[in-house]
Amino acid sequence: MSHFSVLVVGNVDYNMAPFHEFECTGWNNEFVKTIDVTKSEKKDFQKALKDQKKNQDKQYGFKGTTFYEYLKDYCGYNEAESPNQIDTEGNHKYNYFYKVGEDDFKVFRRTNPNSFYDYYGPGYKGLKLKSGEYTNKAKVKDVDFQGKWAEKEQAAREQYRKVINAIGYAPTLETPWNSLIPKFHPKKGKAIMTKDQAVEIYKAQQAVKDFEQARKDGKLTYEDIGIFGSVDEYAMSEDEFVKSQHIHALTFGYVINRKYHSNGDMGWWAMVSNEKDPNAWDEEYQKFIESLNPEDEISILDCHV
């Protein structure tokens, strides 16, 4: 699970409606699609049969022999008498299957392919008003964006300087961790080293050693650098670090006119995939803010996935 913030322009419920995770919300609206998953379920059924033969003494797993048993008992699909008797408000709200031949069935799952949240509510008070107060909902004309951006920049500079002071110098890395990942986990071809070998190479660097020592000595805490903080984030100049911190981006994403824009795809445990270039995302977000009508109402939401 993950929590992340999203800024919405205009009516919140209207703009967020297209992006709910149907399996969690149960909102049976026009954004829910019926997807034919027959091919993938047949493939998984064959795999389940093979696993069953290999691990006959295994306590868990599929124990039946037919595709019907796999769908009905193991996967929990709801059976329909025919394609003309589908009740998407009742038993077939989330999934269904029906017979087309001897132990042969068409299988369907209902979902929202554009979902990015399973819950949302009022978010953190990240909007600095011109009055000096902070809120999570306001009109654009009342928000001091320049003041908020200046605060974020100052906080980033202080964070960078704290790390530099803790290890005693501005770190450089000959072999950043990201440069090693393709060598033990390539997208194509064979790995040229193991992960353990990559870790050994990475940890042999003096900057990595000094960063970890500063953490052990209490000079750097989780509040300073986060749970997953690493020296790689600071192996750059102070100005470069400030740019990498998304100074203009007040939230992970934003929604305007029922269109969702984000810095990537949020997964569990705050792991982000397909992350955008930090400078590109920061620039995009700034242009988005500057394009808003002064009379627009904006809200910061806390989203969960």
Among 252, 244, 300, 230, which residue's Cα sits nearest to residue 8? 300
Task: Looking at the structure, tell me whether residues 81 and 181 fall in a common domain.
Answer: no
Asked if residue 231 and residue 168 are part of one domain, the reply reads yes
Cα(126)–Cα(196) distance, integer angstroms: 41
pLDDT of the residue at 1: 77
Q: What is the mean pLDDT of residues 3-18?
A: 96
Residue with tokens 């696993």: 51
Model pLDDT, residue 226: 84
Question: Does residue 151 sit in the same domain as residue 227?
Answer: yes
pLDDT tens-place string over residues 129-158: 999 999 999 999 999 999 999 999 999 999
Q: Looking at the structure, tell me whether residues 69 and 126 fall in a common domain.
A: no
Whether the per-residue pLDDT at 34 is higher than 90: the answer is: yes
**Cβ contacts of residue 150 below 8 Å, gap of 6+?**
none
Whose tokens are 């997208």? That residue is: 187
Q: Are residues 95 and 152 in the same domain?
A: no
Two structure tokens written together for 248: 């203009």
pLDDT the model gives residue 164: 97
Predicted local confidence at residue 274, as pLDDT: 85
Q: Is the pLDDT of residue 192 over 90?
A: yes
Co-location of 175 and 267 in the same domain:
yes
User: Does a structural domain hold residue 173?
Assistant: yes
- Nearest residue to 49 via CA among 39, 37, 64: 64
Output the pLDDT for position 61: 86
- Integer Cα distance of 69 and 45 in angstroms: 10
Same domain, 124 and 86: no
Measured between alpha carbons, how far is 229 from 246 in angstroms, rounded to an integer?
16
Domain that holds residue 99: 33-111
* Count of domains forming the chain: 2
Of 34-43, 65-74, 140-149, 273-282, the least confident: 273-282
Q: Residue 23 domain-assigned?
A: no
What pLDDT, on a 0 to 100 scale, did the predictor assign at position 277?
84
Instruction: Say whether pLDDT at 83 is over 90.
Output: yes
Q: Which pLDDT belongs to residue 291?
A: 97
Residues 144, 257, single domain; the answer is yes
Predicted local distance difference test score (pLDDT) of residue 272: 79
Q: Is the pLDDT of residue 167 over 80?
A: yes
Query: What is the overall mean pLDDT for the chain?
Result: 94
pLDDT band at 96 (very low <50, low <70, confident <90, very high): very high
How much of the chain exceeds pLDDT 90, in percent? 84
To 10 degrees, what angle do helices 145-167 and 206-216 make? 100
Residue 7 tokens read as 């800024």
Based on the domain organization, do 149 and 45 belong to the same domain? no
From 86-95, 194-203, 235-244, 272-281, the region with the lowest mean pLDDT: 272-281
